[in-house]
Chains A and B, each alone.
Chain A
Amino acid sequence: MTAGPSNATVDEGYNFAFLDEQTKRMLRRAILKAVAIPGHQIPFGSREMPLSYGWGTGGIQITAAVIGPADTLKVIDQGADDTTNAVSIRSFFRRMTGVATTERTPDATIVQTRHRIPETKLVEGQILVYQVPIPEPLRWLEPRESETRKMHALAEYGAMHVKLFEDIVRFGRIETAYDYPVMVNGRYLMRPSPIPKFDNPKMDQMPALQLFGAGREKRIYAVPPYTAVKSLDFEDYPFQIEKWDQPCALCGADDTFLDEIITDDKGGRMFVCSDTDHCEQRRAAGHRGTGAPQSYVAAVEGGE
């Protein structure tokens, strides 16, 4: 086993990337099948992982199946590299593979993500691995698995628009904000996992390979590079992404997905990029926002 240029110590007694080779081959077969039929859900024998369901067991299994010693791994959770889920999955793979990890999107060969697509455009050769809680887009209207499989097989997707129709009835606009259903390659209806619909356009014709893993539901699906991904909508209510009326308070970006942060107990708040790496790169390049309270800026800058 050749470890990458890493400072990590690899735990002895485990196979490379935790899973045994037979399991990884089974996963790779499922992944190949998924890539061959874009958007189609492939069942696989999901294993017990040292992590509870709902914390990314599907994503971890995919990453374990595709990672090699020369890879560089980035893990994000809600766009951030430093949240519990991201930190523990990253350290898991450092201990189980010894590969290099990074927070910089362009340096990574594999990006495992929960709930976001990085703002930095992904390129050919990169793999984006999504953690998926519920893979079946038709589940809300049809609880029977046998029936939803039939609906996929026969491309009976008309009823999916009923959900968006109900949004307009109740709110006057399509209010579905995350896990927004998409058509992949004009054939299969797919749940993009709970990413904000802000990220949906990034999936369309993406140069990177996108793999989706649902551990509890035991499904893998994929969007190969340069595949059409279209969000559902109505002719008179076209698909729209979220907009903010202010730029990022830290880096001044006006084209990113923003999180609202409470800054004190007197109602102070600011909007900052949810993609922490993108925000830091911009600040390193000299971009500055104006919205952050002075105390917060001092703490962040002082801490760096």
Chain B
Amino acid sequence: MSETPILEVRGLTKRFGARAAVRDVSLELWPGEVLGIVGESGSGKTTLLNCLGGRMPADAGEVLYHTGDGREVDMLALSEADRRRLLRTEWGFVHQNPRDGLRPDVSAGGNVGERLMALGQRHYGNLRDTALDWLKQVEIDADRVDDKPRAFSGGMQQRLQIARNLVTHPRVVLMDEPTGGLDVSVQARLLDLLRRLVRDVGVSVIIVTHDLGVARLLADRLIVMREGGLVESGLTDRLLDDPREPYTQLLVSSVLTV
């Protein structure tokens, strides 16, 4: 790991009316690490993620990002043009519902190629080869490249969405419950795949999940949120095996074991 974090969040606050959905959150994301954000429903995890990517304006705080060309920018203060360009090139966002992150009427190949075309690639043959290569990496058969995502199963759609995001080799990927709504065996395969891709591509990931099992498998570090604020943070194994805060203890002990 290098000396400086790739992303520093300081004092991020987001209010909906009088209610603070995210309250004074500070965190750091280091290059190549997977940071898990866990907490019960309504604890502000998804709102935090949306604010980080500039998808939702925050009320206070800063999100300092170290760009690929060595600058430090505040994602919240950046002009819209620059922010959208960064989000398109150096960031990725994996939605909980793949329908939000895919174009259902565009073939799988077109979905994977879209970000490349947005970056100016204009060679159909190369775009298609890249798409085929990425479909293979996310374990989708090459003969499905011309099919529309609406004909895919939920797990395949989610894998396609991941390929669509990773194709430009982003530096930061935000994932919102990527395994939500999938059955357990499909979840397991997706987790294996994610682990491999994260290591291969070397991307830094913030993953939001309410599933501590997913967090244990994927995340290097964990942050526990409750009612918009940070409760506890630490290395995944430390935090799950030896929780310090009463709320974390409650969260960990409420997981059912089979």
Contacts and interface: CB of A to CB of B under 8 A. Distances in A.
B114 A169 contact: no
B106 A236 contact: no
B123 A235 contact: yes
Contact of A154 (B84, B109, B115): B84
Interface string B68-90: 00000000000011001100100
B136 to A, nearest CB: 18
B81 A162 contact: no
B12 to A, nearest CB: 24
Contacts of A158: 114-115, 117-120
5 contacts: A162-B110, A166-B110, A168-B124, A169-B109, A236-B125
Contact of A236 (B81, B103, B119, B123): B123
B77 to A, nearest CB: 18
A162 B123 contact: no
Given A166-B107, A169-B107, A234-B122, A161 B117 contact: yes
Contacts of A161: 117, 122
The 5 closest A-B pairs by CB, nearest first: A158-B118, A161-B117, A234-B124, A235-B123, A158-B117
A154 B124 contact: no
B252 interface: no
Contacts of B85: 154
B127 interface: yes
Contacts of B119: 158
Contact of B106 (A166, A168, A237): A166
The majority secondary structure among interface residues of chain B is helix
Given A150-B80, A154-B81, A237 B124 contact: yes
Interface residues of A, number: 19
Contacts of A162: 103, 106, 110, 113-114, 117
Interface in A150-185: 150, 153-154, 156, 158-159, 161-162, 165-166, 168-170
Nearest to A234: B124
Given A154-B84, A158-B119, A170-B107, 14 more contacts: A150-B80, A153-B81, A154-B80, A156-B88, A158-B117, A159-B114, A162-B117, A165-B113, A165-B124, A168-B124, A169-B146, A170-B146, A235-B122, A237-B124
Interface in A210-247: 233-237
A165 B122 contact: no
Nearest to A164: B124
A162 B106 CA distance: 8
Contacts of B114: 158-159, 162
A235 B123 CA distance: 5
Nearest to A235: B123
A159 B119 CA distance: 10
Given A166-B106, A169-B110, A169-B146, A159 B117 contact: yes
A167 to B, nearest CB: 10
Contacts of A168: 124
Contacts of A236: 123-125
Contacts of B106: 162, 166
A141 B123 CA distance: 21
A153 B85 CA distance: 13
Contacts of A150: 80
B110 A165 contact: yes
